[in-house]
Amino acid sequence: MTKNRLEAFSDGVIAVIITIMVLELKAPEGAGVDALRPLAPAFLTYVLSFVFLGIYWNNHHHMLHATDRINGKVLWANLHLLFWLSLVPFVTGWMGENHFAAVPTAVYGVVLLMAAVAFTILTKLLVAEQGPGSRLAEALGPDTKSKVSLALYACAIPLAFANRWIADALYVSVALIWLVPDPRIESRLKR
Amino acid sequence: MTKNRLEAFSDGVIAVIITIMVLELKAPEGAGVDALRPLAPAFLTYVLSFVFLGIYWNNHHHMLHATDRINGKVLWANLHLLFWLSLVPFVTGWMGENHFAAVPTAVYGVVLLMAAVAFTILTKLLVAEQGPGSRLAEALGPDTKSKVSLALYACAIPLAFANRWIADALYVSVALIWLVPDPRIESRLKR
Amino acid sequence: MTKNRLEAFSDGVIAVIITIMVLELKAPEGAGVDALRPLAPAFLTYVLSFVFLGIYWNNHHHMLHATDRINGKVLWANLHLLFWLSLVPFVTGWMGENHFAAVPTAVYGVVLLMAAVAFTILTKLLVAEQGPGSRLAEALGPDTKSKVSLALYACAIPLAFANRWIADALYVSVALIWLVPDPRIESRLKR
Amino acid sequence: MTKNRLEAFSDGVIAVIITIMVLELKAPEGAGVDALRPLAPAFLTYVLSFVFLGIYWNNHHHMLHATDRINGKVLWANLHLLFWLSLVPFVTGWMGENHFAAVPTAVYGVVLLMAAVAFTILTKLLVAEQGPGSRLAEALGPDTKSKVSLALYACAIPLAFANRWIADALYVSVALIWLVPDPRIESRLKR
């Protein structure tokens, strides 16, 4: 079974998700700078979600690049991941419209956590299919970044009810962990 | 005639269909957990439709993987399938908003039935083009799952008017037949 | 210059156009069969536009299949075609909501006519690039179907103001010319 | 690292962006020619944005065609470009609905400027990866068109507050620079 259509379909779904999110940014009524101000929370949420989807696409790209064989379980694990990613526009819109209120912020974290869990399952199935000592297993290493991300999401969800800004700061931290390719941070995380 | 563009176009259309369905999940007005509760039927319908579209994509993927040649009729049979699939977001939204009322539930079944009929036609045309004894004909076997699915949809549509929950249970059963890859179920169905 | 990305981009754009049209079919308020009845004109227009976009995708597929080389002008001629096709959801929605009123019916015809003109320009540029006696020039032949389609669109637009059903019948006729692969009709048209 | 998926994902995102813009063109209430008139500014903005996205797709196509190797930074620079392009439907809708008012016109220019900056960064990273004397560096030459475009955008933004028609004229000029392939203009710009 070849991976080409899996990549093409995932590219298509992520491309649509990352783009229809912008439909949540509704053109404001007025034509002045003031009309843009109420959009600031929605815009910031859009940027954050765009970065998360970009990280997923990047990681998906790298992981499948190092993959030689797929199987039927991988197809479903991939659809499971795309399911949680497909909810990102919904939670982005809800959190943005409600200016980072507690419940939408926690639900946003639940969707991010479930997407990260789905990605972990997909990784495990792909590594199992390639076999031990494969190029993919070697490229992933201990995969500390993924474990740290899962832990940070799991902390952020209850913290959203205590102080939502802590939860938002944790989401931004996860994004930065993946964005900043500082090798010292990476090696420190790996230890 | 090569199958690459047929696959790419179908991937694109199914990717858009599976993703724009989420636009039917409108971000609720309030910011509390209560605001999410009325969305439950719409969310459950979304999950069901996502799984059905995932099954179609998986089966389409497998079928074309075993296909060597296509022809002009296949292109139109494929567009016919995509037409019925394109109506899934509409019936998903209608059934979800009306909390599984009888008529929307029946119409949902009609679209699923027509998509299954369209898939059967596509299968027949592909098998005819590959010739008897082809890799595709062998891979499909007696194709009992498809026949059972068609029968269950045909039963569910009138039953929606008697008791809509029976119809919904039948839809979920069809999804489970395709999702659960238990070889005993498969071999029992084949007998 | 290779044609792969031209095909991939066109597949993507046509896949999105053919799918977002369904967003014009808004889920009705009520949950009865009566609630569906007012949607009939919008649904019929959707079917017609789906068939037209399917015909364009099919012809685009066949034409580029027989193409070996493209150039910068071809890229723009292709974008010009995609521009007119991108207006199909707008005119489909307008004609459907207004139950085939005269002006929306005429404007629908203008968009179809311009798309056909854009396809003719793209064809001419591709044939010029492949050179005389090419596989593409031979496959196209006198291209009578395209000329008849252009003529029927040009007639339908003014006729929409006299009797809109004549215009609609002409649109359906053009669709049938391309859908029905009767070799006798084809050879009669070619003479 | 291969460039295929980068191209496929970018094609997908640009295809969705260029197409969902048409959702901003809402089907008017009435069925007469008068009903179309208020849509004229939105339609003109749509045409302008379609041309800009077409230019970006064309240039992206040409640039990656001359590219042999990509790296992780290129993936992010590409996502950065797609981010700014994804805002085009939003600013197109805002400018169109407000009939080219000063602030929306300036914000439209900001998005175009940032997309042009993002494209310049992507170009620099790709040239650096291919090395000096590469096919890509040669194909780009002094890249005067890009520099002139950046300068015109930077002028148009403040000028939108003095006279918005000057800003709009500058946007159209940039589009024409890229559309018209007159070799004399090109060679004059290169000197």
Q: SS3 letters for chain D?
A: CCCHHHHHHHHHHHHHHHHHHHHHCCCCCCCCHHHCHHHHHHHHHHHHHHHHHHHHHHHHHHHHHCCCCCCHHHHHHHHHHHHHHHCHHHHHHHHHHCCCCHHHHHHHHHHHHHHHHHHHHHHHHHHHHHCCCCHHHHHHCCCHHHHHHHHHHHHHHHHHHHCHHHHHHHHHHHHHHHHCCCHHHHHHHHC
CA distance C97 to chain D (A): 8
| Inter-chain Cβ pairs, chain A and chain B, closer than 8 A | 75
In a mutational test of the B interface, the residue from C19, C29, C135, C178 whose CB has the highest number of chain B CBs within 10 Å is C19
The predicted model gives D10-28 an average pLDDT of 92
Only one residue has tokens 């009138």, namely B158
Indicate the residue of D72, D76, D93 with minimum beta-carbon distance to A27.
D93
In a mutational test of the C interface, the residue from B1, B86, B91, B107 whose CB has the highest number of chain C CBs within 10 Å is B86
In a mutational test of the D interface, the residue from C16, C78, C88 whose CB has the highest number of chain D CBs within 10 Å is C16
Q: Give CA–CA dist B116/C148, Å, rounded.
A: 36
Q: Which of A22-26, A47-51, C48-52, D6-10 has the lowest mean pLDDT?
A: A22-26
Q: Give CA–CA dist C6/C35, Å, rounded.
A: 42
Tell whether the model's pLDDT for residue D2 goes beyond 80.
Answer: no
Percent of chain A with pLDDT over 90: 63
CB B143 within 8 A of CB B134: no
Which residue of chain A comes nearest to D18, CA vs CA? A19
Instruction: Label residue D184 by pLDDT band (50, 70, 90).
Output: low
Which residue of chain D comes nearest to A6, CA vs CA? D5
CA distance D12 to chain B (A): 8
Q: Is A89 exposed, middle or buried (0-12, 13-18, 19+ CB in 10 A)?
A: buried
> What one-character-per-residue DSSP string does A104-157 give?
HHHHHHHHHHHHHHHHHHHHHHHHHHH-TT-HHHHHHTT-HHHHHHHHHHHHHH
> What element of type H or E holds C158?
helix C144-162
Contact between D86 and A22 using a beta-carbon 8 Å cutoff: yes
Which residue of chain D comes nearest to C74, CA vs CA? D58
The Cβ-side half-sphere exposure at A138, using a 13 Å CA radius, reads 5
Q: Give CA–CA dist B39/A50, Å, rounded.
A: 25
Contact between C72 and D181 using a beta-carbon 8 Å cutoff: yes
Q: How far is CA D135 from CA B12, C72, D62, D119, in A?
A: 32, 18, 12, 18
Mean pLDDT (10-residue bins), chain B, 191 residues = 87 94 88 90 94 94 87 91 96 91 96 97 93 82 88 96 95 90 54 56
The predicted model gives A83-91 an average pLDDT of 96
Q: Give CA–CA dist C43/C35, Å, rounded.
A: 13
CA distance A4 to chain D (A): 10
Strands, E, within B48-171: which ranges?
A: none
Tell whether the model's pLDDT for residue D173 goes beyond 60.
Answer: yes
What are A35-81's pLDDT values in tens digits?
Answer: 999 899 999 999 999 999 999 999 998 889 888 888 888 999 999 99
Contacts of C15 in chain A (CB under 8 A): 12
Residues 6+ apart with CB under 8 A from B118: B77, B80, B81, B83, B84
Supply the mean pLDDT for chain D.
90
The predicted model gives C10-17 an average pLDDT of 95
Contacts of B76 in chain C (CB under 8 A): 54, 58, 179
pLDDT at site B187: 56
pLDDT at site A181: 61
Supply the mean pLDDT for chain C.
90
pLDDT at site D142: 78
CB D141 within 8 A of CB D103: no
pLDDT at site D133: 82
B interface with C, Cβ–Cβ < 8 A, is 1-2, 5-6, 8-9, 12-13, 15-17, 20, 23-24, 72, 75-76, 79, 82-83, 86-87, 89-90, 93-94, 97-98, 101-104, 107
pLDDT at site A157: 96
What are D50-98's pLDDT values in tens digits?
Answer: 999 999 999 998 889 888 888 888 999 999 999 999 999 999 999 998 9
CB A93 within 8 A of CB A141: no
What are C114-169's pLDDT values in tens digits?
Answer: 999 999 999 999 999 998 788 888 778 778 889 999 999 999 999 999 999 999 99
Q: Name the phi and psi angles at A100, rounded to 5.
A: 60, 40
Which residue of chain C comes nearest to B107, CA vs CA? C33
B interface with D, Cβ–Cβ < 8 A, is 12, 15-16
Which residue of chain C comes nearest to A11, CA vs CA? C12
Contacts of A16 in chain B (CB under 8 A): 15-16, 19-20
Q: In whole angstroms, how large is the CA radius of gyration of chain D?
A: 18
The predicted model gives D162-169 an average pLDDT of 94
Q: Give CA–CA dist D56/D14, Å, rounded.
A: 9
For chain D, first and last CA: distance in Å?
Answer: 36
Tell whether the model's pLDDT for residue A191 goes beyond 90.
Answer: no
Exposed e or buried b per residue across D30-68, where buried means at least 16 C-beta atoms within 10 angstroms of its C-beta: ebeeebeeebeebebbbebbbbbbbbbbbbbbbbbbbbe
Tell whether the model's pLDDT for residue A32 goes beyond 70.
Answer: yes
CB C47 within 8 A of CB C53: no
| Inter-chain Cβ pairs, chain A and chain C, closer than 8 A | 4
CB C91 within 8 A of CB C111: yes
Instruction: Label residue D169 by pLDDT band (50, 70, 90).
Output: very high
CB C19 within 8 A of CB C50: no
pLDDT at site D16: 95
pLDDT at site C127: 92
What are D107-135's pLDDT values in tens digits?
Answer: 999 999 999 999 999 999 999 999 878 88
